[in-house]
Structure formats: C-alpha cells, structure tokens
C-alpha cells in the first residue's frame, strides 16, 4: 500500500534526527517528483560534498557542521511544506499508474540499460561521433561535459553511455570496461568531483581518489601516467563525476584550473594505459531554458563552454538535455512489450504521468507534449522492477 504523506514526513524527520543521511536522501528521492525531488538532489550533493571534504581533511569539522545544519534546516522546511502533488511513485496517487504497469506484457529481458534508455537520440549521436573519431585518432583520454537540469537526469545519461559502449563493443575490439558501480547493484555510479579549498587541494584530492581506486600503492599519479605501471587490465576505464553549477560558479577559478590540469595531465601521459573516458555531470537548474537562467547561471555556462572549447581536441560539451517527447516514451513501451501493447494502454500511461504534473511543467506538457526525464525514468523503473519481480531469473 502507498505510504501517506503524513507517515512519510514522520519517517523522514526520524531519519534526519538520527543523522541517517543516506537512507533519508534515498527514500526522499524514491518518493518525490518535480521540484521537491530536484531540491533533494541538490541538498544531497551539497551534504556529500561537505562530508567528502571533511574526510579528506580539506575543511574543518566546524565548517562541515555549518553545512550539515544548513542542509538539515532546508530539509525540514521542504518536508513541512510538501503537498501530495510532490509525491511520485510512492505516493497515494500512484495506484493508477502502478496498475497500468502491472498490466504490461514485457516481451524482452530487461537490463539496467532499460532504466535509462528513452530518447536522447541527438545527444547520443554527438557522443558516438566524438567517441568514434577519437577512438580512431587514437585519443586515449576523452572528456565529456554533460550540462543539464537535475530534472533531466544528466547522471543517468552518463550511465546510459556506459551501457551503450559495453553493448556496442563488448563482442568486438572492446575487451573490457571498468567503471564504478553503486553498492548493492550493477548500476553505474556517479561520484562527486573531488574538490578542495584551492586548486592544489583539489589536485591532491583527485590524486588520492585515483590512487585508492586503482590501488597504485607507492606509485604516484604522475609516475603512473609516465610509465603505465602498475598495468591496469582493462581496455577502457570510465569515470563519472558530478558537480553543481553553484560549486562551479563559486569556485570557478579553482575548478577551471583544476580540470585543465586534469585534462593536461592525461593528455601528456607517456605510459601504456587504458583509454580513459571522463563524464563530468554538471547540474544547473533550467539549463535547457536559457530565458530562465540567472546571470550566475549564464556565467557558469560560459565558463564551461570556454574550458571545453580550449580543449576541443579531446573534450566536448553535450548540452542541453531537454524534456522528452511523450511519443518517445510510447516507442520505448512498444519496444519492451515487443508490440504487445494497445494504443489506449500507452495513452493511459502518459495520462497517468501527466496527472501528477503541476504549474509550468503541466503547461509545457499541454503545449508541447513533453515530460521531464525524471518522470520517464520513474516509469522505466516501475516497469523494470515489476518485470524482475515476476521473473527473478531475468534480474541483472
């Protein structure tokens, strides 16, 4: 049975009081949609950034506690001002959609790719053309900047690109791919970009991250790039890192110097290394709506574009990620059911999702027939989970 808002609020405040941050953020993101969900993503990112910097010793415990308290107060305000319309798949308005999903006849084995592979054809084409061109060059170090609104789920697009690569090349020249996986499942993990109080701090933090991830032991980051030793067994190594536009803007000189150093360091590598692909996920509210960007947002976009342009021989910017046409969701449903779905079923699913929209998001759907990717992915997750529950042997 769906959990009423009052009970959810009580549960979340208990988790907050017990400082169970991860459980709180995970549960809120599972149950919320729209603007509240976007706020939770940004607050989670801010909390994780402060926690990571505290663990790395780049900020004091007192400074970290200031951030934790600010996030705590923002979460309490958010919880106290929630309405039923802010609830997504876990809310009491979800029964109709859940029933419609249960009635689907899924005709293919679903994989983690099916959680994130709706639309984005143009953005996917940009990536594929860059990847193929650089692969043939060859360019062993590639950097992809994904600038998008949190509602459009840029981290999920990075995840999709990893799965697309694995599917396209696993049986040919691509012998192995290494990427970070989320705890408890095989999904691609996007981590926070290691930052610091200065550019040198950020560089040191990345070196620590790199050494720990690849178990370099006594070998320095510089020595690894110079010698390629210890040898990594994979042909392709993929890293997905995220940063908010706010952090980029407030530390623009640090971030630009830091990322330039990172790209230069890999580009000048002499050792026999795997090909490294970096996805930099940058969350910017309304990134796909230039008319709604603040001056700060516009300056952040220009900063990112300038950095990418200076490094265009091995870096590209994939933006914006716009809302998804409802037609593309219908096509996705057509594929996963092998065509065993009626037009009225597809329309009913779209209508059920639209019934949850409000404000500008609802107006845009009525005018343009598009949905934010967060709603698309919510539906994809429901379809996959029901299929895996009914067919445990298909669960990846």
Q: What is the CA radius of gyration of the chain?
A: 22
- Half-sphere CA count of 238, side-chain side, radius 13 A: 23
What the block records as the tokens of 161 is 């690109």
Q: What pLDDT, on the 0 to 100 scale, is given for residue 184?
A: 62
Q: Could you tell me which residues come within 8 angstroms of residue 81 by beta carbon, excluding any fewer than 6 positions away?
A: none
Give the pLDDT of residue 85: 64
Closest C-alpha to 341, from 333, 353, 349, 351: 333
| H helix count then E strand count, the chain | 16, 8
| Paired tokens of 384 | 């996959």
How far apart CA 123 and CA 3 sit, in angstroms, is: 37
pLDDT in tens, 315-361: 999 998 999 999 999 999 999 999 999 999 999 999 999 988 889 99
This prediction's pTM:
0.78
pLDDT of amino acid 305: 98
Q: Does domain 121-318 have CATH number 3.40.720?
A: no
Q: DSSP letter at 139?
A: -
Query: What's the DSSP call for residue 87?
Result: B
Three-state DSSP class for residue 175: coil
pLDDT of residue 46: 79
Ranges assigned E (strand) in the chain: 141-148, 177-179, 191-192, 236-244, 275-283, 315-318, 324-325, 370-371
CA 206 to chain centre: 20
Torsion sign (Cα): 147, 321, 180, 75:
positive
pLDDT tens-digit series, residues 271-328: 899 999 999 999 999 999 999 999 999 999 999 999 999 999 999 999 989 999 999 9
pLDDT at 95: 46
For the chain, list residues with pLDDT below 70: 1-3, 34-35, 38, 56-58, 84-95, 169-175, 184-185, 396
> What confidence score (pLDDT) does residue 57 get?
67
pLDDT computed for residue 38 by the predictor: 67
The rounded percent of the chain whose pLDDT value lies above 70 is 92
pLDDT at position 91: 46
């Amino acid at each position: 049975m769906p959990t009423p808002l009052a009970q959810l609020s009580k549960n979340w405040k208990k988790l907050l009081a017990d400082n169970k941050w991860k459980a709180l953020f995970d549960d809120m993101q599972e149950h919320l949609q729209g603007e509240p969900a976007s706020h939770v993503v940004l607050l989670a990112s801010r909390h994780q950034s402060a926690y990571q910097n505290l663990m790395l010793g780049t900020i004091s415990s007192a400074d970290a506690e200031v951030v934790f308290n600010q996030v705590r107060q923002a979460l309490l305000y958010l919880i106290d001002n929630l309405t039923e319309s802010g609830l997504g798949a876990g809310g009491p308005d979800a029964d109709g959609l859940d029933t419609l999903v249960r009635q689907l006849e899924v005709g293919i084995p679903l994989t983690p790719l099916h959680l994130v592979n709706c639309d984005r054809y143009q953005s996917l084409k940009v990536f594929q053309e860059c990847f193929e061109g650089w692969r043939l060059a060859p360019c062993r170090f590639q950097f992809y900047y994904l600038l998008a609104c949190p509602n459009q789920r840029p981290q999920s697009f990075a995840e999709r690109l990893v799965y697309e690569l694995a599917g396209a090349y696993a049986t040919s020249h691509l012998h192995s791919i290494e990427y970070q996986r989320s705890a408890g499942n095989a999904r691609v993990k996007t981590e926070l970009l290691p930052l610091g109080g200065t550019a040198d701090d950020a560089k040191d933090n990345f070196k620590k991250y790199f050494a720990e991830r690849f178990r370099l032991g006594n070998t320095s980051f510089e020595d690894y790039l110079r010698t390629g030793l210890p040898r990594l067994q994979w042909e392709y190594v993929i890293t997905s890192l995220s940063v908010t536009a706010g952090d980029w803007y407030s530390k623009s000189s640090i971030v630009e110097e830091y990322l330039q150093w990172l790209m230069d360091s890999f580009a000048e590598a002499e050792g026999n290394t795997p090909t490294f692909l970096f996805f930099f996920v940058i969350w910017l509210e309304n990134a796909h709506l230039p008319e709604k960007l603040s001056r700060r947002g516009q300056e952040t976009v220009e900063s990112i574009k300038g950095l990418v342009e200076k490094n265009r021989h091995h870096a590209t910017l994939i933006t914006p990620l716009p809302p998804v046409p409802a037609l593309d969701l219908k096509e996705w449903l057509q594929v996963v059911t092998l065509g065993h779905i009626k037009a009225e079923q597809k329309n009913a699913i779209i209508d059920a999702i639209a019934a949850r929209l409000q404000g500008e998001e609802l107006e845009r759907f009525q005018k343009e027939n598009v949905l934010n990717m967060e709603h698309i992915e919510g539906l994809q997750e429901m379809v996959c989970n029901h299929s895996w529950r009914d067919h445990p042997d298909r669960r990846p």
